Amino acid sequence: MPSPTPQMHLRVAVLPGDGLGPELASCAERVLSLIQNVRGTVTFDLSRYDFGGAAIASSGVPLPSSTLEACRDADAVLVCGCGDARFGIEPEMGLLALRKQLHGAANIRPVSFPSSELAQRSAYRAELVENLDITFFRDLTSGVYYGERREATEEDGYALDTIPYNRETIQHLARLAGAYAMRSNPPKPVHSVDKYNVMATSRLWRAVVTEVFAKEFPRVPLRHVLVDTASMLLSSDPISLNGIILTENMFGDILSDQAGGITNSTDILASAAISTLTTTDMRCRGVFEPMNLKATGTLVNPIGIIHAVLHMLELSFSLHEEADALSKAIRRTLDPIELVGSDCRPVDLGGKASAAEFMDTLLHNLDYYLEAVNSAEAAGEHVVASPADSGIFLPESDLGRRPMGIIEKILTHAGIGLKTPEVRPGDMICVRVDWTITSELLWAGMEKTYDQMGRPRPYRNDRLWLAVDHTVDPRTNDRPRQQGLMAKAEKFRREAKIIDFLPANTSIMHTDFTRERAQPGRIVVGSDSHTCSSGSMGSLAVGFGAADVVMPMVTGETWFRAPEVCRINFIGALAFGVGGKDVILHILGLFKRNTIAFQRAVEYGGPGLAELSMDARFAIANMTTEFGGMGACFEADGATASWIAGRQHPQHREGGLYFRADPGAQYAEERTIDLSEVKVTVAMHPNPDDVVPIPEKAGMKLDGVFIGACTTTEEDLILAALVLEAGLREGLRPVSNGKRRVTPGSLIIIKNLERMGLTDIYRQAGFEIGAPGCSYCVGINDVDVAGEGEVWLSSQNRNFRNRMGKGSFGNITCAAAVAASSFGMEVVDPAWLLERIDRDKYERFIKAPKGPSSATFEVAEPRPDVSPQAPSSALQTVGMEGKVPMSTVPRVVRSKVQRFAENVDTDAVIPAEFMPGVDNADLGSHCFQYFRPEFREKAKNGSTIM
């Protein structure tokens, strides 16, 4: 939905030049045309002019005067090819002349991997370079290339080059680098490279740079590095130079080429020559070009020219949102499927895509990301945060509010038009929702409400997560039910241009969302009760009914009755081999279901939090719904910040709010859990709170074992594999009877397990490895269904009646216990095998895939939106197609009663295999089908009170 009236008109001089330049020019023009058409806020006047070898062939000079004049009149210049070998160095001389005439004082050359997948192709180890992010600021006007020189003669054999620099030249470049560093928050570090210990010009360089940064950019970290040290670091520890490398002409020429070599392809990089940096009220004309200007033959890889366009959008036009959209589209096109990518790589980057196929996929992805910019603007938000918006809000001492807990602070910060600067339990408030998440099964239910609303445009197409996971399996995805549900989800993806759409068997909806998207201090609403998993990242994560999720998906807001909060404080530390699943079963065993947490949000914290890994927190948050909680939220800390800092996509490493509970915050219930008391237990069918120590059930015969479901984390899967390895080493072998299946939560986790060699261990122990999905946990993919009368031990989160299959008996425990029990198909205490695990190996594995070991964060305070009037809500502007009649149900109901016991679960109400139903009547025809088959007939005969 583009803006109705263009606000910017920009002239771009396109210089195709020679070689593959004309084809690259066409690629650039397609990108700019799409931006113009989708955004509607900018128009590009694209005109081609002769240049380089093509100009020499037609007019005898590489830079005709008409081309130079057009470039002077343009807002930016795009050079696509230059270096026709037939004309020697003449084309390059034309390029130098162009830069000089347009006053290109600084060469800016970013060096990074547009996708982490490309780091695997570097000559360096991927883990050393995948986070490479260096931008070179190199002088283009002085130094040895422009100094006085004397060529050697036959007589004297003496040559001379000089390296002239003056204070003004160095000051100008240093100011450009400092201003560029300040565009990031926090400011990027600057590494000033010189040869201070030998050269007079370097001593001047260091003195001037030091002075400029001390006076004008005191917040920018400045480090002086000798050029030989810089070269050594680029060879041994490149990311230690992440940030900006500020240096003189020749050093920059050499070092930027050396850094470019790390990427293993010059065809993915680009550079710019500019005189100044653009600001909101002034544009900067620059010359933008791919790093490889001499490409000839058949076009294989157009990424270099696309990056040149990206730099032009950012540096010359300040179109930061559009540049960001293009950067994300490049990454999405190159990324593998497990990273929600298109896995479309040119042949020279190890893929199979032609240049044309790459461009078509890129433009498709760019269209979606530009829609994200449009939807953010329509919502009055920005996709790219400004440097001034740190997201850190200091306490307002004059508010006079009462002490609040973390969940209350999240709701206060998200509230719209609050009457007071605080939220209290029971308050009915309208809040901003940051993410909505769903699956193919639950979307089919949501779609009924969406149709009634007339299928309006979603609030943010980049804040909607849809994973195809519940009903799918590669063995049955060709069946009518699966095909129908996948088709509904795919239709919505295309219609809404959903960015985070995960095709069948990519990830369980909660797994990768929590690991790669959820942020502290934000609100996540999902159409599945295990949405609370995201609370492990410090979000307030709540599962709603399918229809109730449609409203925040469309408006970005929802009405919320502020819940009472139950606080769980952890102390102590877990024993080795005891994890998050054991902790939540311990809590369920102590307090039981639907007691202290019933219809409350659960907040987790305390000094023992530091002893819980992020995976352990995930498992605890995931089963908060079994505990009775309507939502979950962990206190976000350094471990949270470190995990988020290691995420694959840079845009999802920022944006969190790290709230802390105030001293004196009030809770409906507050309990302490000593982690040192947690043991391995098993919850017996059909109640997740019927928890007993696992030795009490030792020897119980099993028909099947399952390690999987969203609650089983990567850490659990690693530990279970090492338990199996220890068992095999001790001479144990799987008995021939029984079923064994392991289903990791996402393709990312499967790849990690494969890299560690752990999938081979699972196979040796008799396990089949399934594609990511809900599998036996919900038993509706037509193959992973437990048989009637079968007894299973599973690491899933629910053991309700008929959950794994009609008439089956599911018992739940940790993955390590399932693994130990799998050899003999009877329940075994895993303790003796846990003692035989190589702990160093385990520690190495669980830390291997993660990011930085430490990351900084600042504690935030809410900034309430207080208004004495009723909130002006987008919810008020969204209507239904047709009128919804007022209820005609009488205030007094007389009926026979159908009496149920406590804790009637949703699996009993509607078995998952009958969801979502064609309509409500169809859904109702299966109500209590297994749990109480006579229910429907009794209801028809007048027993309508439950």
Q: For 637-675, what is each residue's pLDDT tens digit? A: 999 999 999 999 999 999 999 999 999 999 999 999 999
CA distance 533 to 623: 8
367 is annotated as an active-site residue? no
pLDDT score for 390: 46
CA distances from 734 to 720, 740, 832, 902 (A): 15, 10, 17, 40
pLDDT band of 938, cuts 50, 70, 90:
confident
Interval 349-398: pLDDT, tens: 999 999 999 999 999 999 999 999 999 999 988 777 654 444 455 444 44
Per-residue pLDDT tens over the stretch 725-739 = 999 999 999 999 999
Q: In what order do the strands lie in the sheet with 691-693?
A: 691-693, 681-683, 809-812, 791-794, 704-708, 739-743, 768-769
Asked if pLDDT for residue 281 goes beyond 80, the answer is no
Please tell me the predicted confidence (pLDDT) of residue 302: 98
The residue annotated as part of the active site, out of 45, 161, 228, 451, is: 228
What is d(CA 908, CA 300) in angstroms, rounded to the nearest whole number? 57
Predicted pLDDT at 878: 57
| CATH architecture of the region 402-676 | 2-Layer Sandwich (3.30)
d(CA 75, CA 286): 8
Phi (first) and psi of residue 346, to 5 degrees? -60, 160
Catalytic site includes residue 253: yes
The average pLDDT across 236-243 equals: 97
Query: CB–CB of 734/823 below 8 Å?
Result: yes
Q: Is domain 680-837 given the CATH code 3.30.499.10 in the classification? A: yes
CA dihedral 219, 225, 231, 235 (to 10 degrees): -60
Torsion of CA 12, 17, 19, 20, to 10 degrees: 10
pLDDT bucket at 932, cuts 50 / 70 / 90:
confident
* % of the chain exceeding 90 in pLDDT: 84
682's enclosing H/E stretch is strand 681-683
Residues 6+ apart with CB under 8 A from 58: 50
Domains 402-676 and 680-837 in one fold: yes
Residue pair 413/432 in contact (Cβ under 8 Å)? The answer is: no
Active site residue 195: yes
Residues 6+ apart with CB under 8 A from 25: 14, 15, 16, 48, 78, 80, 305
Kindly report the number of other CB atoms within 10 A of residue 171's CB atom: 15
Q: Largest Cα–Cα distance in the chain?
A: 119
Alpha carbon dihedral 798, 801, 806, 807, in 10-degree steps, equals 120
Lowest mean pLDDT of 102-111, 428-437, 502-511, 907-916, name the range.
907-916
Answer left, alpha or beta for residue 152, where phi above 0 means left and psi between -120 and 50 means alpha.
beta
Q: Which of 32, 39, 42, 43 is nearest to 2 (CA)?
A: 39
Does the pLDDT of residue 877 top 80, yes or no?
no
- Considering only 18-22, 272-276, 921-925, which range has the smallest mean pLDDT? 921-925
What is the average pLDDT across 568-588? 99
Residue 368 a catalytic site member? no
**pLDDT at position 97, please?**
93
Among candidate residues 133, 257, 662, 703, the one labeled active-site is 257
| Best CA proximity match to 340, nearest among 748, 641, 55, 709 | 748
Asked if 180 and 277 count as a contact pair (C-beta separation under 8 A), the reply is yes
Burial letters 816-829, b for 16+ CB under 10 A, else e: bbbbbbbbbbbbbb
Distance, in Å, from the CA atom of 468 to the CA atom of 487, rounded to the nearest integer, reads 10
In order, the DSSP letters of 252-320 are HHHHHHHHHHHTT-GGG-EEEEESS--BTTB---EEEEES-----SS----HHHHHHHHHIIIIIT--H
Instruction: Please pick, among 145, 146, 488, 782, the residue that the annotation labels catalytic.
Output: 145
| pLDDT tens figures, 910-920 | 777 777 776 77
* DSSP single-letter state for residue 519: -
CB 723 within 8 A of CB 828: no
pLDDT tens per residue across span 176-215: 999 999 999 899 999 999 999 999 999 999 999 999 999 9
pLDDT of residue 547: 85
Give the whole-angstrom CA distance, residue 170 versus residue 207.
10
Task: Give long-range contacts, CB 8 A cutoff, 24+ apart: 904-910.
Answer: 904/931, 905/798, 905/800, 906/529, 907/798, 907/800, 907/801, 907/802, 907/803, 908/800, 908/801, 908/802, 908/932
Q: Which residues contact 666 (CB under 8 A, 6 or more apart)?
A: 402, 403, 405
Choose the catalytic residue: 75, 165, 195, 267.
Answer: 195
β 106-112/270-274 pair status? antiparallel
pLDDT digits (tens, 9 = 90+) for 597-635: 999 999 999 999 999 999 999 999 999 999 999 999 999
Residue 869 in tokens: 């009037």
Residue in 18, 75, 194, 253 annotated catalytic? 253
Report, as an integer, the average pLDDT of 125-151: 94
pLDDT of 472 over the 70 cut: yes
| CATH architecture, range 8-378 | 3-Layer(aba) Sandwich (3.40)
Give the pLDDT confidence score for residue 139 in this predicted structure.
96
> What pLDDT is recorded for position 851?
45
Neighbours of 95 (CB within 10 A): 22
Q: What angle do CA 569, 575, 580 make, to 5 degrees?
A: 55
Domain boundaries, the chain: 8-378, 402-676, 680-837, 887-946
Q: Quick one: which of 522, 521, 515, 530 has its CA closest to 439?
A: 530
257 is catalytic: yes
